């Protein structure tokens, strides 16, 4: 179980996250839904240790990890697949994958190869093309590579930061389908997304984050069960992120009200 307790974090003089309490169990997909600038990336970066916690705790399997370095957290099983994928276009697909195993210096070549086979199983397009530059891949395929690279670290908790960002609609559906399949492997998955509708559709539970605070939480199925909600407020067929900023924030606020009323 991945959990945060009264977690706060920020940049410089600005405290961005306030009193964040979330849990993600193994085999569970938990959506973190919020508009642009709500604090989603700040939260996943704080869990991964790229940003220090200013108060509160992060625990994995009941043990505190908030004082550990990012690498130590990777070795414990926390893996961040960052926003914007951060794959290296000039490197081959294989070289990108190998970077995912960098934290564990004790792996020999055979172990790395076995990991690569395992990590690419959900994404069969990757291995046959492993000698190609990663820049040859489409945006959706690069997102698959970014996730596979994350799996190379043998995570227990997967933090996926806006995996659908910038993808064409057909690929967005494909990425969400693949993420849903990852649940069967027992990872605790935290899915940070502006795309409320599709992340609710594949997640078990959801938190709404606004201005750095969790303002609502609930069972995803219950929230989606109302066709009315899906149509009016979650923009069926649209990415919430496609809406203008103000409209998007209003949609998130409406979603919070709906969840609060249930």
Would you tell me which residues interact with Mg ion (CB under 5 A)?
A: 40-41, 83
Q: What tokens appear for 145 in the block?
A: 């590579």
| 39 counts as binding ligand ATP under rule CB under 6 A | yes
Q: Please, what is the minimum distance in Å from the beta carbon of residue 248 to ligand ATP?
A: 9
Residue 42 touches which of ligand ATP, Mg ion, none (Cβ within 5-8 Å per kind): ligand ATP
The interface mask with ligand ATP, positions 71-100, x = CB under 6 A, is ------------x-----------------
Which residue in 18, 20, 30, 42 binds ligand ATP (CB under 6 A)? Answer: 42
- The 10 Å Cβ neighbour count of residue 25 is 15
Q: How many CA atoms lie within 13 A of 198 on its CB side?
A: 25
For the chain, give the number of residues: 262
| 206 counts as binding ligand ATP under rule CB under 6 A | no
CB 51 within 8 A of CB 58: no
**DSSP of 50-100, one letter per residue?**
SS--SEEEEEETTEE-TTS-HHHHHHHTEEEE-TT----TTSBHHHHHHHT
Residue 16 touches which of ligand ATP, Mg ion, none (Cβ within 5-8 Å per kind): ligand ATP
Residue 234 touches which of Mg ion, ligand ATP, none (Cβ within 5-8 Å per kind): none
3-state secondary structure of 36: coil
| 36 counts as binding ligand ATP under rule CB under 6 A | yes
Q: What is the DSSP letter of 38?
A: S
Which residue in 1, 8, 21, 37 binds ligand ATP (CB under 6 A)? Answer: 37
3-state secondary structure of 114: helix
Which of residues 83 and 94 has its CB atom nearest to Mg ion in the complex?
83
Q: Which residues bind ligand ATP (CB under 6 A)?
A: 11, 14, 16, 34, 36-42, 83, 162, 194
């Amino acid at each position: 179980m991945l959990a945060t307790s009264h977690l706060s974090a920020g940049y410089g003089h600005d405290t961005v996250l306030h009193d964040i309490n979330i849990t993600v169990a193994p085999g569970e997909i938990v959506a973190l839904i919020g508009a642009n600038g709500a604090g989603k990336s700040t939260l996943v970066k704080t869990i991964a240790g790229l940003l220090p916690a200013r108060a509160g705790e992060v625990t994995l399997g009941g043990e505190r990890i908030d004082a550990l370095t990012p690498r130590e957290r990777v070795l414990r099983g926390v893996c961040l697949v960052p926003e914007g994928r951060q794959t290296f276009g000039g490197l081959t697909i294989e070289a990108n994958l190998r970077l995912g195993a960098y934290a564990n210096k004790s792996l020999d070549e055979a172990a790395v190869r076995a990991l690569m086979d395992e990590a690419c199983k959900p994404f069969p397009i990757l291995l046959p093309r492993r000698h190609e530059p990663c820049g040859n891949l489409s945006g959706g395929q690069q997102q698959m590579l970014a996730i596979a690279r994350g799996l190379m670290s043998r995570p227990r908790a997967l933090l996926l930061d806006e995996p659908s960002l910038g993808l064409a609609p057909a690929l967005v559906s494909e990425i969400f389908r693949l993420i849903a399949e990852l649940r069967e492997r027992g990872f605790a998955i935290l899915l940070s997304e502006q795309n409320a509708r599709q992340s609710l559709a594949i997640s078990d539970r959801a938190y709404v984050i606004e201005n750095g605070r969790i303002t609502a939480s609930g069972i995803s199925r219950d929230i989606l069960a109302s066709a009315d909600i899906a149509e009016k407020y979650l923009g069926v067929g649209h990415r919430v992120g496609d809406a203008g900023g103000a409209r998007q924030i209003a949609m998130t606020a409406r979603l919070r009200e709906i969840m609060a009323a249930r």
